[in-house]
Amino acid sequence: MGNGVSTALVRIGKPGERLSEDEVELASNCLNRLPVVYKGYNNVPLEEISMSWELYKVKKSTIIARAQGDMTMEGIFIILDGTIELLSDKDRLIVAGLQKGEFVGDVPTVFEKPCAATCRAKKDTKLLFLSKSSLTPTILSVEITMDEWLVKRMFLACTGKEREHIARRITVRVLQRIPLFRKWGLISLQMLVDYMRNPIIIYPNKAKLIMEGDPSEALLVVLRGEIGIYEQNNLIQRIGPSLDTFPIWIGEEGLLSGEVRPFTLRAHSICQIIVIQKNTIESVAEVRTGDAGQAWEYEQKSCKERISRRDENLYIKHKAFLQYETILLNLKSRNIDRFANFTVQNLWHIATKSTVKHLKKDSTFSQDKTLDILIYVLTGSLRVESFDDENDNDVFNMTIAEGQLFDPRTLSKDGKDIAATQSTLLLEIPSAVVAEAENLSEIIELI
């Protein structure tokens, strides 16, 4: 192999090796994300391709491909377990970490261009390899250009002017998906990005991104990586953007309300983050009064109205948990069947339109049975009990744990009592709000 590419990959079994159901689903999802149309199929012809795919074990620090050089083997490498680091600037800078469910080799395979970044195993990693020779015959056409694909993948591993160009296009596209900028026109968003000297910043693992008690002067949008939210050094939420519900942002409430940061934010991995200063937003709003200016004024007013509706005493005691972004992250991090197909914008609507209630330990949850609501357990847990008439005592039925969603009417109609096993925060979500969220349309213009 040319350009010093390592060949330290150990194949597991034979070509066509059987995968678990989860691995097959993961491979299918990856291949269906490629910007191609498959011949005679709506989705990737997995049965046809599976005859030739190969499993590999890759040792820590193995180079799979070098920037502007050769692949170890031509094709797509899908990460089944482990992490691959992307290195740029002559391999001196780690720009991203790809986790299980992501892939490399798409640019050389689909667009027949050299790799934009060096790909190196961060730790022992399990890969599924699909050769270019087995994949190409199934492809009818490529849907978009390579630049459009890099923007869509948020792939910031190129260098020089190309990197700056891609970063700005990524930033505009991402901001179009954040509710704070939903009423901003394209020209205003492009101006905002032009005002930012370096729109996407790469932070190392363990970096402190914001500090509890500091002024809220910037909005952070996490593109890649994992972050942790801490209150007085206690981790309360750990999350990163996922490919289906991306993006995640932190700091909107403080930006609009002027309150200080209620928590500390730390990087738990290499992170790519858009950082937008408040004064930059205000500068564009002053110039672009027709859309950005009116939208900024509207969002500040809406934030104040939301804050006025919440229980101030409850917020003071639990403010790190009750920031709207924190509630959003909590909802996003759980595998809630009811919200399985919800985007971040859908969940944001729920977070800002619902009500938080607190239950002390052993206190009973009571609900107006005429209200059509769902209950989500933000923190703590509940126990469900029913009364045994024959033995004249309470019977323990089940526990509703943190992160679970339930319909209280379903339980109350069966004569069951719901009580807190500990201090518990509940999110009351009107069913009408869920319906509104489902009907939100998400219009993304590819710049």
CATH number for the domain harbouring residue 244: 2.60.120.10
* Spatial distance between the Cα atoms of 168 and 78, rounded to a whole number of angstroms: 28
Same domain flag for 313 and 358: no
Same domain flag for 189 and 309: yes
- Is 193 a member of any domain? yes
Residue 445 — pLDDT band, cuts 50, 70, 90? very low
> pLDDT tens digits, residue range 410-437?
776 555 678 899 999 999 999 999 999 9
Please tell me the predicted confidence (pLDDT) of residue 294.
96
Same domain flag for 141 and 176: no
- Is 339 a member of any domain? no
Nearest in space to 229 (alpha carbons), one of 245, 203, 251: 251
> pLDDT tens digits, residue range 41-74?
788 888 888 888 999 999 998 888 887 765 557 8
Paired strand residues for 373: 430
> pLDDT tens digits, residue range 249-299?
889 999 998 889 999 999 998 899 999 999 999 999 999 999 999 999 999
> Per the structure, how many domains does the chain have?
3
- Is 327 a member of any domain? no
**Choice among 131-140, 321-330, 374-383 with the minimum mean pLDDT:** 321-330
State the residue range of the domain holding 384.
Answer: 354-436
Block residue for tokens 């509890």: 212
- Is 62 a member of any domain? yes
Instruction: Report the SS3 class of residue 32.
Output: helix
Angle subtended at Cα 290 by Cα 289 and Cα 296, rounded to the nearest 5 degrees = 60
Across 64-78, 178-192, 231-245, 354-368, the highest mean pLDDT is recorded for: 178-192
- Is 194 a member of any domain? yes
Please tell me the predicted confidence (pLDDT) of residue 344.
80
Nearest in space to 182 (alpha carbons), one of 337, 294, 17, 15: 294
Q: Which residue has the higher pLDDT, 164 or 368?
A: 164
In Å, the largest CA–CA distance within the chain is 81
Please tell me the predicted confidence (pLDDT) of residue 367.
65
- Is 1 a member of any domain? no
Is the omega angle on the peptide bond into residue 247 within 30 degrees of 0, that is, cis?
yes
Sign of CA dihedral 56, 59, 60, 64: negative
* Spatial distance between the Cα atoms of 254 and 239, rounded to a whole number of angstroms: 20
* Spatial distance between the Cα atoms of 176 and 50, rounded to a whole number of angstroms: 38
* Spatial distance between the Cα atoms of 108 and 424, rounded to a whole number of angstroms: 52
Q: Letter for the amino acid at 445?
A: E
Please tell me the predicted confidence (pLDDT) of residue 38.
92
Same domain flag for 62 and 124: yes
> pLDDT tens digits, residue range 96-107?
888 899 999 998
Same domain flag for 292 and 361: no
Same domain flag for 31 and 108: yes
Please tell me the predicted confidence (pLDDT) of residue 359.
92
Residue 387 — pLDDT band, cuts 50, 70, 90? low
In the predicted model, is pLDDT for residue 406 greater than 60?
A: yes
- Is 191 a member of any domain? yes
* Spatial distance between the Cα atoms of 173 and 151, rounded to a whole number of angstroms: 8
In the predicted model, is pLDDT for residue 371 greater than 80?
A: no
Same domain flag for 294 and 371: no
Same domain flag for 21 and 98: yes
Please tell me the predicted confidence (pLDDT) of residue 5.
39
- Quickly list DSSP for 210-234: E-TTS---EEEEEEES-EEEEETTE
Over residues 386-405, the mean pLDDT reads: 70
In the predicted model, is pLDDT for residue 19 greater than 60?
A: yes
Terminal C-alpha separation, the chain: 37
Please tell me the predicted confidence (pLDDT) of residue 447.
33
Same domain flag for 19 and 134: yes
- Is 189 a member of any domain? yes
Please tell me the predicted confidence (pLDDT) of residue 243.
53
Please tell me the predicted confidence (pLDDT) of residue 71.
57
Q: What percent of the chain has pLDDT over 90?
A: 43
In the predicted model, is pLDDT for residue 1 greater than 50?
A: no
Please tell me the predicted confidence (pLDDT) of residue 290.
92
Same domain flag for 415 and 305: no
Final residue of a structural domain among 317, 338, 373: 317
**Cα–Cα distances in angstroms (integers) from residue 400 to residues 123, 151, 321, 340, in the given order:** 37, 41, 19, 19
Residue 310 — pLDDT band, cuts 50, 70, 90? confident
Same domain flag for 178 and 286: yes
Same domain flag for 137 and 63: yes
Please tell me the predicted confidence (pLDDT) of residue 419.
87
